[in-house]
Amino acid sequence: MTIGDVAKACSLAVSTVSNALSGKPYVRKETRRKVQEAADRLSYRPSAVAQALRTSRSSTIGVLVPDITNPVFSWMVRGIDDVLFREGRSLFVCSTEGREDKQIQYMHALIDRQVDGLILISQHTHGDDIEAILDNGPPFVLIHRRRRGHKEDYVGIDNDAGMRLAMNHLVELGHRRIAFIRGPTTSTSVEERFGAYRTVIAEARLAAEANLVFQGDYTIEGGMQAGKFLLEQVPRPTAILAANDFSALGVIEAAMRLGFRVPEDVSVIGYDDIFIARMPQVQLTTVYQPKRDIGGAAATQLLRRIGALRRGRPKEVIFPVELHVRATTAPAYSGSRVGPWEQDEVLVP
Amino acid sequence: MTIGDVAKACSLAVSTVSNALSGKPYVRKETRRKVQEAADRLSYRPSAVAQALRTSRSSTIGVLVPDITNPVFSWMVRGIDDVLFREGRSLFVCSTEGREDKQIQYMHALIDRQVDGLILISQHTHGDDIEAILDNGPPFVLIHRRRRGHKEDYVGIDNDAGMRLAMNHLVELGHRRIAFIRGPTTSTSVEERFGAYRTVIAEARLAAEANLVFQGDYTIEGGMQAGKFLLEQVPRPTAILAANDFSALGVIEAAMRLGFRVPEDVSVIGYDDIFIARMPQVQLTTVYQPKRDIGGAAATQLLRRIGALRRGRPKEVIFPVELHVRATTAPAYSGSRVGPWEQDEVLVP
DNA sequence: CCGTTTTCAGAAAACGATTTTAATATCATC
DNA sequence: GATGATATTAAAATCGTTTTCTGAAAACGG
């Protein structure tokens, strides 16, 4: 079932059928109707592949995420899908497992398939290969990790404000020894979060020791390792701030295993506010970020870039964050603070 | 950068370059080396779109899931990706939100893009539109929901055994009023799970009342509604069995809100064993299914189908399940049963 | 009624690869 | 050195569209 078949069916040339179907001018109303009718009757659908080859646009976009099983990213994908589906576009979703080689391979695969654009959530934005691909490839939007020294489309959150909110909350609760679990790489978002931690440490003259910082990998297991390491320090930190919720959940698990109570013996704060944090059994104090909206914003910006203003000036969208105070933080060296059903207390910068 | 450019670069015909690059015979070693060298130098990559048009194979496969943010499905996608990435294929992942119209639209989009095959996880396998697409489209593999009256490739789990395991566990704990939260549709897997529930109810002569069955929607919120409804019954069920973990988590949340303790006042069992169920704060007793392996098996079977044996006889892969007994089940009308750190007790059929 | 513009439809050339078919070297054989 | 078989390479057709270009018919103006 090709355009040739419907051309034959209404005894017209293929070019006429093409024009009629794609709403070009210069085709008589009557003819258009006839074509439309024939196409419907034969339930003709144009080959997206042939269209892509001819027009070099595929109405397809590629998304790279570190790990599709992480709710942070799957909700971002959901947000991307929200807006792209409306526009009749399809999504290639690639889960890179944080591996640079896999990311490169996927990026090539996507470009070979002529995606119209790319949305990238990745630690790896600085390798030679990747930079070469980005510089010669289709338009792209970065989420959460920008390229140093480049002005380009970016969607992220106010990492600094989020960390300050969390740190201030702990300081107000009387904590002076606050440990930090940082992310695995040296991406900009990791630096922003880590930077804010150090700034507050310095400003508030808190304990500043190398042993209070542990490099995690954003997984629950990594968080457990970090928790074990940090909780065995003497003197022990009274609060642990994690760069993401999974790490925080791991810390809590480690604390329980070691016989510490949360928050009585140690306060824990996460980052992201994945839905698990809201569960009544968990009630993790954490920094909220609008994951779905972030994805949506990235998709919208990418569409804008693909469309008219291919060479418009780059746009940065920074979403605000909120601290959702739940039950894993309490005054230093105190008893339990909140009951299980107290409403979230929401702090904004 | 097209194949023509590299042909020019080594002053050969495009056909020769094509043959050389794709390892065809009848091209001299020396020539092949020359071509390879030129292609590398120009870092030529063939256009997957042109290849797809010419060969009508795209080395791309489409995956339809009800909800990418649900860990059950994102882990299945992960398993699919495991095997497909090794084979150099790319994945279109589409999240249908359980909507039939969205699913149809996505299926068309995928077929327009000439995917080589489809992996379907969906309640909707029986509409006229969908059946028409399946019957005329590329090879496909069904996960967890089969089409009634069709013999086709299918990967699933032993739903019946899983439910019996769960029910028997409750019966052995002395429960006689066991409520059930079923899935939203009338798909085969829902029927299998519901059927097993009713069978055990009949076999063990347990309370069998319409009010003990509630139709959920596989979300936490739906589970909360169900929990509220069921826990307000008089007499109250002493145990609630949910068709998936999210529903079970919702039930627990509802129970806590209503002031019931789990498992002292009511036992709860889930289905799927998502990672949340393992968390020490949660410890949900649930039926485990190997999500990642299921995805992998589906991908493997699809590749087999796409390859040599397009017309081989259909294969059904049924994975066994296990009951993971944790802390949300206890004897009827009893006190707490397990401490927080007891190892999982694993029951297999 | 004739020349000019507008309106519409068709033919043909792309897009970038693969595959089929044709053409040319290369070589051994007589 | 002509002949034929066999390796190689080249040319052309093809996949299903869109787009450009060409041309015919109709409408228009004077």
Read off the pLDDT of residues A93-128 as tens digits, 9 standing for 90 and up. 999 998 999 999 999 999 999 999 999 998 888 889
Of B48, B93, B113, the CB nearest to A48: B113
Question: Does residue A240 have a pLDDT over 90?
Answer: yes
Question: Does residue B349 have a pLDDT over 90?
Answer: no
pLDDT at B335: 44
Q: Strand, coil or helix: what is A280?
A: coil
Name the superfamily (CATH) of residues A159-289+322-347. Response regulator (3.40.50.2300)
Question: pLDDT category, B310, cuts 50, 70, 90?
Answer: low
Residue with tokens 């990238």: A120
What chain B residue is nearest to A89 in terms of C-alpha separation? Answer: B109
Of B49, B93, B112, the CB nearest to A114: B49
Cβ partners under 8 Å of residue B149, min gap 6:
none
Read off the pLDDT of residues A309-322 as tens digits, 9 standing for 90 and up. 666 789 999 999 99
Question: Does residue A24 have a pLDDT over 80?
Answer: yes
Read off the pLDDT of residues A204-225 as tens digits, 9 standing for 90 and up. 999 999 999 999 999 999 999 9
pLDDT at A334: 55
Q: What is the DSSP string of A60-73?
A: EEEEEES-TTSHHH
pLDDT at A341: 42
On average, the pLDDT of chain A sits at 92
Distance from CA of B108 to the nearest CA of A (A): 9
Question: pLDDT category, A307, cuts 50, 70, 90?
Answer: confident
* Interface touch B257/A341, C-beta < 8 Å: yes
pLDDT at A339: 38
Of B113, B114, B253, the CB nearest to A90: B113
Return residue ranges of chain B for CATH 3.40.50.2300.
55-157+292-319, 159-290+322-347
Contact call for residues B324 and B142 (beta carbons, < 8 A): no
* Interface touch A81/B102, C-beta < 8 Å: no
Q: Which CATH number describes the domain made up of B55-157+292-319? A: 3.40.50.2300
Half-sphere exposure of B232 (CA within 13 A, CB side): 10
A53 CA: nearest nucleotide by C1': C15
pLDDT at A306: 93
- Alpha helices, DSSP H only, in A173-219? 188-203
Test mutation, B113, B116, B129, chain A, max A CBs within 10 A: B113
Cβ partners under 8 Å of residue B99, min gap 6:
none
- Alpha helices, DSSP H only, in B126-271? 128-136, 159-172, 188-203, 220-231, 245-257
Angstrom distance (rounded) from CA A229 to CA A225 = 6
Q: Once rounded to an integer, what is the mean pLDDT over residues B234-243?
A: 95
Computed from CA positions of residues B263, B267, B273, B276, in that sequence, does the dihedral angle turn out positive or negative? negative
Taking CB atoms within 8 Å and a gap of at least 24, the contacts of A40-43 are A41/A9, A42/A1, A42/A5, A42/A6, A42/A9, A43/A1
- For strand C, give the nucleotides within 7 A of a protein CB: 7-12, 14-20
Report the CATH fold assignment for B3-46: 434 Repressor (Amino-terminal Domain) (1.10.260)
Return residue ranges of chain A for CATH 3.40.50.2300.
58-157+292-319, 159-289+322-347
Return residue ranges of chain A for CATH 1.10.260.40.
3-46
* Interface touch B91/A91, C-beta < 8 Å: no
pLDDT at B341: 42
Question: pLDDT category, B116, cuts 50, 70, 90?
Answer: very high
pLDDT at A238: 96
Angstrom distance (rounded) from CA B317 to CA B299 = 12
On average, the pLDDT of chain B sits at 92
Neighbour tally for A314: CB within 10 Å: 13
* Interface touch B49/A249, C-beta < 8 Å: no
Question: Does residue A347 have a pLDDT over 90?
Answer: no
Report the CATH fold assignment for A58-157+292-319: Rossmann fold (3.40.50)
Show which residues sit with Cβ under 7 A of nucleic chain D: A 1-4, 14-15, 18-19, 21-22, 44-47, 50-51, 53-55; B 11-16, 19, 26-28, 30-31, 50, 53-54, 56
Q: Which of B282, B343, B268 is nearest to A253 (CA)?
A: B282
Read off the pLDDT of residues B256-304 as tens digits, 9 standing for 90 and up. 999 999 999 999 999 999 999 999 999 999 999 999 999 999 999 999 9
Show which residues sit with Cβ under 7 A of nucleic chain C: A 11-16, 26-31, 50, 53-54, 56; B 2-4, 14-15, 18-19, 21-22, 45-47, 50-51, 53-55
Question: pLDDT category, B309, cuts 50, 70, 90?
Answer: low
* Interface touch A112/B45, C-beta < 8 Å: yes
Distance from CA of A129 to the nearest CA of B (A): 12
Read off the pLDDT of residues A64-85 as tens digits, 9 standing for 90 and up. 999 999 999 999 999 999 999 9
pLDDT at B27: 87
Q: Once rounded to an integer, what is the mean pLDDT over residues B250-256?
A: 97
Query: Above pLDDT 90, what percent of chain A?
Result: 83
Q: Which CATH number describes the domain made up of B159-290+322-347? A: 3.40.50.2300
* Interface touch B53/A48, C-beta < 8 Å: no
